Amino acid sequence: MRNDETNRIENKEMLNDDFEQEVIAFLNYKEGGIIYVGIRKNGQVIGVNDIDQTQLQIKDRIKNNIQPSTLGLFDVVVETIDNKQVIKVVISSGTEKPYYLRKKGRTPEGCYIRVGSSKERMTFDMIDNMYARRVKNTLKEIASPRQELTFNQLKIYYEEHGLNLNDNFLQNLDLLTSEGKYNYDAFLLADENNVSLKVVKYLGTDKMDLIENQEYGYRCLITATNRILDKLDAENTVYAKIEYKGRKEQEMIDSSALKEAVINAIVHNDYSYGNSPIIELYSDRIEITSAGGLPQELSKDDFFKGVTAPRNKELIRVFKDVDLIENIGSGILRILKAYDKNSFIFMDNFLRVSFKYKKNPFEYDQKDNQEIDQKDLNLIQKKILALIQKNESITQNEMAKILEVNREKIKYNIAILKDMKIIEREGSYKTGKWKILE
């Protein structure tokens, strides 16, 4: 395989003195980049002898020798190329440019940028222009609207992953402003906040008939995310068929892509203007909408290539610590394995992902007069059929009262039974009657 250097790939035979300069060049570059350690400039793979020690050195040098903070902007992974282990350092384009060597400061000796397949020193004019365009409203510098916060849930998540938050965790996770106050990241991760995260469900393909509006926010963003994922997992029908060779399954929505879309919407959302992500379930699709549009400085082509410019790097770092995020930049590529680019809808201030539901490939063909297996129906639907068999003139209000559920749930499940051609209505809803189809 070819291991050539490009504008986004740098090869290093070993971890040498100019490693931080290469990292800074990618942090300041609009597309970020990748540094391979264990590959020569000519592409020859030689591998890394002490993988674990070298990974630790890389992480320490990036964290301690570069400013502003790089937490959440890089990932260090091990890959095998030509049967040899190398280290792959994935670097995102930073949001607090220009980045620089701590000991050199914001000067041409400390600031670098990627030009072609090499790094170049930045001039004072380049540094000043980049600083002028710097994002000022990062969540790190927005003070929390509340300064009396607790983090019991966050500590539990870290403990579950074998990580203990010591007394300095607020500084280590960048949850304080430069003035020492709780910042908005801390607010989002606190046990209580006023940030709403909703899952809304409609009966049809538009917003005319609302049947469910559930609130998952007002708590630690990790807890809210996990509860939303659990809710969507329950909503995601798994079609199945038992055959001679075993069980065949097909998800209504690809669960891996769905998880990535939800987490991306939550961690990349622009919370600085009070907007929150929203998840909407329709009869034919699910839509996940986040505020802020494309991440800063990214074109659509860059976005679809997996290039990242994190809007909320502190949140990304925490979500990665608790294993809600795997590798930085892999989420969009994972979605594109299951859905095409048309699933993404770009707006000036919002980004929406829309997944069409997959049809049941094992559905019985009604034209062949094959009966629908009662196992394919949920409990409410079975009870509705039983009530209709007893009284073909029963109303939806009467069904709701007997089954002790709200009328919207009855309405929703009747729509499903009608769509499956199990029942139909003859006459008006006031004077008509139900008919169970043969």
Cα dist from 281 to 285, 287, 319, whole Å:
6, 7, 25
For residues 155-182, give the mean pLDDT. Answer: 92
**Tokens 């400039």 belong to residue:** 41
Look at the block and give the residue holding tokens 């809304």: 200
Domain 198-356, second-level architecture = 2-Layer Sandwich (3.30)
- Cα–Cα distance between 396 and 386 in angstroms, integer? 13
Torsion, Cα of 33, 16, 74, 311 (10° steps) = -70
pLDDT level of residue 134 (50, 70, 90 thresholds): low
Sequence spans of domains, the chain: 9-134, 140-189, 198-356, 366-436
The average pLDDT across 153-165 equals 93
Q: What percentage of the chain exceeds 90 in pLDDT?
A: 58
Helix (H) or strand (E) holding 436: strand 433-436
> Tokens for 12?
């290093």
Instruction: Of 8, 9, 7, 6, give the one whose Cα is nearest residue 86.
Output: 9
Q: How confident is the model at residue 371 (pLDDT cuts 50, 70, 90)?
A: very low
Instruction: Tell me the CA distances in angstroms from 231 to 199, 234, 301, 412, one per residue in order.
Output: 9, 5, 32, 18
The predicted-structure confidence for 174-211, as pLDDT tens digits, reads as follows 999 888 999 999 999 999 999 999 999 999 999 988 99
pLDDT of residue 244: 54
pLDDT at residue number 137: 55
Tell which CATH classification among 3.30.420.40, 3.40.920.10, 3.90.1580.10, 1.10.10.10 matches the domain 366-436: 1.10.10.10
Please give the pLDDT value at position 295.
Answer: 64
- Residue 430: what pLDDT? 72
For residue 370, the model assigns a pLDDT of 43
On whether the CB atoms of residues 112 and 94 are closer than 8 A, the answer is no
pLDDT at 290 over 90: yes
pTM: 0.62
pLDDT average, residue stretch 113-121: 93
* Ramachandran region, residue 317 (left: φ > 0; alpha: ψ -120 to 50; beta: rest): alpha
Q: How confident is the model at residue 153 (pLDDT cuts 50, 70, 90)?
A: very high
Instruction: Flag whether pLDDT at 95 surpasses 60.
Output: yes
Mean pLDDT of 45-59: 94
Q: Are 41 and 13 in contact (CB under 8 A)?
A: yes
Question: What is the topology classification, in CATH, of domain 9-134?
Answer: 3.30.950
Task: Residue 228: count other Cβ atoms within 10 Å of its Cβ.
Answer: 24
